[in-house]
Structure 1
């Protein structure tokens, strides 16, 4: 832990008392068989010349096994009647009685490796020497081990035969598909792309499994296991025509349709169409990522690209069907070089958990519904996943976008990968669709020194009727859900993951402490973003007469969540426009020196940064531990964890009061998952316009001041307050009124401090 960071006092999460007042913050390895012949025993003086009758007698006594050789046994001598100082005298053998064998069998079930004391006690009860007991247990263990190896060998042989049969079936299917059923000639090269691709993936997996199992089985068979020849190298493919409609497999692939059904015999018909759709969508994504005009029209300043919809329809005439009535098209493309190697980027995009964390400001929830292919063993080449996700803007005034789609990953060349999404609404119709993803995703190219070039394409058709007027310009410009926001978020997160400690004063340098604190801040950010959006899982209630536009509140019960204090949590949020640039608003809100200008709960105390972690090029990207020194001697000091982060598309200042004892654990590298957090804070977005405040206010229906700024900010303010520590308690009107006044007062203070009271 960093010197000077240990905190002696303790505080609690923010809570509202009963009268409505806010108070405080608060497969194991196989062993090769012995070189000894089966039935050969060593420790008890038996040799290879032991007669068959003697061996039979020993088997009757429970010694029909192979003894373990080695230094442990090589230095043992016979005991009891077998001990003889004259080596030339013929040895005598002790035959165990049935009672002795039964007793040792019973003891063996309880203890495989008896110690010296147990062997002596057992020998005394059975009239045996401890060494005789020891050797019996050694033989018994070896016998069980040999039986296990034989069973495992049999199982491996059966699996190997199954893999051989599968391989033969695939080869026969492929040889059939290379001939046309009508003329007997070879099929067109372009028709084989999907089939060869799927077979190559399946064949690579089979090759690895067969080689691995054959190597193990060869130890027991006594000779190498001959593998069946695998498929020949694939033929070069040509671009697909996108948009295979249901029932047109034969039209696009010819005789290859039979092969699709042969390979995907375990899949339903809809899943076969999903695979075909994904392969075609991949081809469209690559072309959209690489083509220029006239498909993409660059703005005069060269900063943005707009899709020419007429040219798109001519270039990709099939698509996933016509645009639904009332839907709008949003298409954007953005390219950036990020500090992360291409393999790690692919892993993040294909791992639903990692993906939703990295893009937590955009993805409010996500789930993998089906995995059609895991790709080639060892990487995601050919991986195919059916997913459902909900995309958000951090404001209760913008409804989230739900999408049901397939995600497909493919390696196109050494160091070049692509990941594409495309909606499945035509194949698997569901509830009313409000957002369709046409082929969207990213093309990732390896660059030197651990960098990657990422080209992101975002193309959706959406019903945006649920967007508040305040956010319509931002959403329609494509900056709310578009490629620019995805790329900017990815770039910022790559910087965060690659951040290293500096020697500045107050910087946390201990790696364990940094890891724990960043993980805690990450959870805080995810909780804030998920709790502030208009997700389908949240039910907001609008309050009026607050002095702020559209304050919305909702309650949640927390019972068994270790990351939240137990009880009823009240969330309140509002969004409004400020005629001030996003950077100015961000710098004002993140600065601890100006915090007492807007933070009512700090009670005017002096805010001091105790320690921080810098995690990006911008000085505003940092995780800080703040202490609020109360001006009232009767009140204890407060401790606040805060993360501020910014990029060209969005900025956040998120904070939460934290328990002092728990933070001491985190700063010492302890587990941060059990630190209870109720995050509050701000989400700052550009308003989507560069016009003056007066012109913008005419669009969104609010009063503006042209003198303040050109191109303003959309600010969301959100609080989470523990209103009752008993989960079964009822929410009082006084608590709602208190939170309502708290958020309205905070909005007024921010406007006053930024000299925009009339906004």
Structure 2
């Protein structure tokens, strides 16, 4: 419904729920006041996506497909119990999901909720989520998770392989840790978890899936003659998506302390065996996210600041997909690395932000991938950057303000530190952390200097 529940923000043309009117209409729902540990967020957005309503509903009900449809938002989803598998003309199930945000300085969100999908008429479906208070009577004090008031989407099938999706988010968020409120406010107020981000991500991923299925292949010259087997193209896209998903999961760490460094032992087949150091941090820049993305998407400028510079790159292959020209997957042959190693890189940009994720991969593994071999167990250790708009003013080259937004840059890299030799002693671990922290700090200083922001 539109009037009177939704109010348009005059500053950014976003919609939010008028809480008093909503509370009077739905008096059975108590909306507690916002506090320092709990805040209510609401938003609505609409867009056309290149997938049918039935396909969307099938993806929404399968937790793995749900995660793959939103790899930059959703992690660790699962169905706890199927409550109704079609008796009432749809489906209803109890689910869990964890949502990761685009900075390690803001905590992830967890939800236990009931998801209900129903077909309203020949062309219209709805998906509605509402929290199920699974900890009622167990938790003491302030809950340590977030709550969903009725949220979800209405899907109208347009009959041409496309659907019109109207998305609604209405949540109350509790903070478990002492978070960085500046970054939280900049990201969350710019819809980091809002309806627009869900819509934009859904549009991008539907385009990607259609490309992968072959329904929107570009002309052959876009592949630079490398992919002689269609399965090789599909393999590369699948591996790249796994790389991106793995990268975004890194951000969901357990504490919030500024520069974040951890050491973990990896036992997964799909990542290199051994001990891995992870370093990640975020910083605000008085530049638009488009300008920052252009800086990192250019080899000559990025090589000035990168942890792993890729000097004199040769693009072994490049796959273009999606509406925005910055969306592509590239296999790079860097002269600075061993000749038996290549780099798989994916870049993406849309109106909600941008990312650049890359990982070194053995030449034999890449060869197997592009020739249609099994790509499910290729080890990947991704690093990269995320650039998010923040709603602030940016600076022109003459340091005058303009109407574009500033941005938040999150940089994360992973380093294999010692194979299977465990850094057991406290001193060894401190030496590793100190070394990685030095690399991270030096990289941030180079970025500020290269972007003309050294005085920040």
CA distance in 2, matches of 1:388, 1:518: 27
Q: Which deviations, in whole Å up to 9, do the C-alpha atoms of 1:381-411 show, x marking residues without a partner?
A: 4211111111121211001111111111111
Q: Within 5 Å, which residues of 2 pair with 1:137-176? A: none
Query: What residue in structure 2 maps to residue 497 of structure 1?
Result: 209
CA distance in 1, matches of 2:121, 2:179: 41
1:374 pairs with one of 77, 81, 85: 85
2:265 pairs with one of 550, 554, 557: 557
1:391 pairs with one of 83, 86, 99: 99
Name the stretch that deviates more: 450-459 or 648-657.
648-657
List gaps (5 residues or longer) in structure 1.
1-290, 543-549, 695-704
Query: What residue in structure 2 maps to residue 691 of structure 1?
Result: 393
CA distance in 2, matches of 1:427, 1:558: 32
Q: Return closer, same or farther for 1:466/1:312 CA change in 2, 3 Å cut-off.
A: farther
Q: Within 5 Å, which residues of 2 pair with 1:131-280? A: none
Q: Which deviations, in whole Å up to 9, do the C-alpha atoms of 1:329-372 show, x marking residues without a partner?
A: 11100000111111111111111111012212111322211111
Query: What residue in structure 1 maps to residue 304 of structure 2?
Result: 597
- Aligned: 1:512 with 2:254: no
CA distance in 2, matches of 1:302, 1:566: 47
Query: What residue in structure 1 maps to residue 170 of structure 2?
Result: 459
Query: What residue in structure 2 maps to residue 174 of structure 1?
Result: none
2:18 pairs with one of 299, 308, 320: 308
Q: Return closer, same or farther for 1:638/1:470 CA change in 2, 3 Å cut-off.
A: farther
Q: Which deviations, in whole Å up to 9, do the C-alpha atoms of 1:626-655 show, x marking residues without a partner?
A: 11113x9xx647411001112222311000
RMSD (Å) for aligned C-alpha atoms: 2.4
Q: Return closer, same or farther for 1:740/1:350 CA change in 2, 3 Å cut-off.
A: same
1:612 pairs with one of 318, 322, 325: 318
Q: Return closer, same or farther for 1:302/1:595 CA change in 2, 3 Å cut-off.
A: closer
What is the TM-score when the length of structure 2 is the normalising length? Answer: 0.89
1:300 to partner: Cα distance: 3.7
CA distance in 2, matches of 1:502, 1:756: 41
Tell me if the contact between 1:685 and 1:713 (Cα under 8 Å) persists in the aligned partners: yes
Q: Which has the higher helix share?
A: 1
Tell me if the contact between 2:34 and 2:40 (Cα under 8 Å) persists in the aligned partners: no
1:478 to partner: Cα distance: 5.3
Query: What residue in structure 2 maps to residue 719 of structure 1?
Result: 413
Q: Return closer, same or farther for 1:555/1:621 CA change in 2, 3 Å cut-off.
A: same
Query: What residue in structure 2 maps to residue 38 of structure 1?
Result: none
1:343 pairs with one of 54, 67, 78: 54
Tell me if the contact between 1:334 and 1:483 (Cα under 8 Å) persists in the aligned partners: yes
Q: Which deviations, in whole Å up to 9, do the C-alpha atoms of 1:70-105 show, x marking residues without a partner?
A: xxxxxxxxxxxxxxxxxxxxxxxxxxxxxxxxxxxx
Query: What residue in structure 1 maps to residue 32 of structure 2?
Result: 323
1:416 pairs with one of 119, 124, 134: 124
Tell me if the contact between 1:558 and 1:727 (Cα under 8 Å) persists in the aligned partners: no
Tell me if the contact between 1:666 and 1:672 (Cα under 8 Å) persists in the aligned partners: yes
Q: Return closer, same or farther for 1:750/1:369 CA change in 2, 3 Å cut-off.
A: same
List gaps (5 residues or longer) in structure 2.
212-216
1:302 to partner: Cα distance: 7.8
CA distance in 2, matches of 1:332, 1:640: 39
Q: Which deviations, in whole Å up to 9, do the C-alpha atoms of 1:440-473 show, x marking residues without a partner?
A: 0010000032110000000001235744133233
Query: What residue in structure 2 maps to residue 449 of structure 1?
Result: 160
2:133 pairs with one of 401, 425, 429: 425
Q: Return closer, same or farther for 1:670/1:345 CA change in 2, 3 Å cut-off.
A: same
Tell me if the contact between 1:557 and 1:727 (Cα under 8 Å) persists in the aligned partners: no
2:355 pairs with one of 652, 660, 675: 652
Secondary structure of residue in 2 paired with 1:629: coil
2:8 pairs with one of 276, 298, 319: 298
CA distance in 2, matches of 1:581, 1:361: 21
Q: Return closer, same or farther for 1:302/1:756 CA change in 2, 3 Å cut-off.
A: closer
CA distance in 2, matches of 1:302, 1:710: 12
